[in-house]
Structure 1
Amino acid sequence: MKIQENAVVGLTYELKVSKIEDEIESAPFSVEIRDEEDPFYFLFGQSGLPEKFEELLAGNAEGEDFAFDISVEDAYGALDDELVISLPSDQFSGERGFSPEMLEEGNFLPLMDENGYSMQAKILKNMGDSLLLDFNHPLVGFDLHFEGKIIEVREATKEELEHGHVHGEHGEHE
């Protein structure tokens, strides 16, 4: 079976990223490896990854290797300054489940929006009475370089299509 809409896809891959600054591209460096011990499974059309990722995998079959690049524009885009905000430090108290170690610069805070959806923010600066937080995706501003192998392609079950995610050994359980 080839990768197509509503197929369940299992992959192993290494993701490397690079960035262009002052017209000089950095050497790609590895940020994620999904191997046979921890493969990435998703419902094609609903991976949550940039659209270009799925577009470049479409039509491939189980057992095939892949390697492709996704530019900043087709990945997570450029930094959005409006997603860098300052919030009062008292919103991140111990009573709310935050420890002092969590509030160190460079850490990612696990947060929820007003609708209960998980999100994260990187602490850019702890200014004592406030935190400067970056809500941009961690890979914003980077070109993505994927290299991997398609380890499984199968038809999604009716339940997987209804729920919008993979069930079973490599997905969520009902």
Structure 2
Amino acid sequence: MNIAEKKVVTMHYSVVDKADNTIDNTFDGEPLVFIVGTGFLIPGLENALIGKQAGDTLSVEIAPEDGYGERHEQLMQAVPKSMFDGMDIEVGMQFRATTDDGEQTVIIVDIQGEDVIVDGNHPLAGVHLKFDVEIVDVRDATADELAHGHVHGEGGCDHDHE
């Protein structure tokens, strides 16, 4: 069966940046399982998988615009340290912030005196990525999986949908 929209794909992958720094790797653990077309994967990787089948392997390079997007410097800003009163903050911490465009994850990238520098870019924004992929299995998604938008494990869904 070929990978296409509404198929469940089980795959192993490793991903590195241009300097060959490993970002993530499933080969030593559990494979990734997802439904094609639900927005679970970055577009460049999902598009590269279309038409492949169980047993196939591939290497694909993904430019930022087909991955996590380009970096936008306007998503970095200084906010007063007083916004974090009562909290022990440090570089690398992530928070949900309310912005003009709705909720967004920001990461503390620096603390300068009374200012905290936060970055609203995805940590992999602007990064060229290289994926090595092994397709383990491809199957049709069940009606329940399609209705819920995610893969169910053996025995069905392990949480409530309200």
TM range (shorter): 0.7 to 0.9
**Paired position in structure 2 for 1:13:** 13
Structure 1: runs of 5 or more not aligned: 19-26
Q: C-alpha distance in 1, partners of 2:95/2:137?
A: 31
- Aligned partner (choices 43, 46, 49) of residue 54 of structure 1: 46
Write out per-residue CA displacement over residues 36-91 of structure 1, whole angstroms, 9 at most, x where no aligned residue: 52211111011433212111000111121111111123222321112112223233
Match of 1:126 among 99, 111, 135: 111
Q: Match of 1:49, as an amino acid?
A: L
Specify the alignment match of 1:24 in structure 2: none
Q: Deviations over 1:4-29 (max 9, x none)?
A: 100111111110012xxxxxxxx221
Amino acid at match of 2:11: L
Residues 66 and 147 of structure 1 are in contact (CA less than 8 Å); yes or no, is this contact kept in structure 2? yes
Over aligned residues, Cα RMSD in angstroms?
Answer: 2.3
**Aligned: 1:155 with 2:155:** no
Normalised by the length of structure 1, the TM-score is: 0.78
Residue 71 (structure 2) pairs with residue 79 (structure 1): yes
Normalised by the size of structure 2, how large is the TM-score?
0.84
**Are 2:97 and 2:106, in contact at CA under 8 Å, matched by a contact in 1?**
no
Matched, 1:104 2:90: yes
**Equivalence for 2:56:** 64
Question: Conserved in 2, the CA contact under 8 Å of 1:4 and 1:58?
Answer: yes
How far apart, CA to CA, are the structure 2 residues paired with 1:124 and 1:53?
28
What is the one-letter code of the residue matched to 2:34? F
Q: How many residues are aligned here? A: 156
**1:39 partnered with 2:31:** yes
* Contact 1:87-1:133 at 8 Å conserved across structures: yes
**Do 2:110 and 2:118's aligned partners in 1 also have CA atoms closer than 8 Å?**
yes
Q: Deviations over 1:111-131 (max 9, x none)?
A: 2658xx985322121124331
Distance (whole Å) between structure 1 residues aligned to residue 157 and residue 23 of structure 2? 24
State percent identity of aligned pairs.
32
In 2, distance between residues paired with 1:120 and 1:155? 33
Post-superposition shift, 1:93? 4.0
Counterpart secondary structure, 2:147: helix
Match of 1:139 in 2: 124
**Whole-angstrom distance in 2 between the partners of 1:156 and 1:57:** 16
Q: What does residue 2 of structure 1 align with?
A: 2
* Structure 2 gap segments, 5+ residues each: none
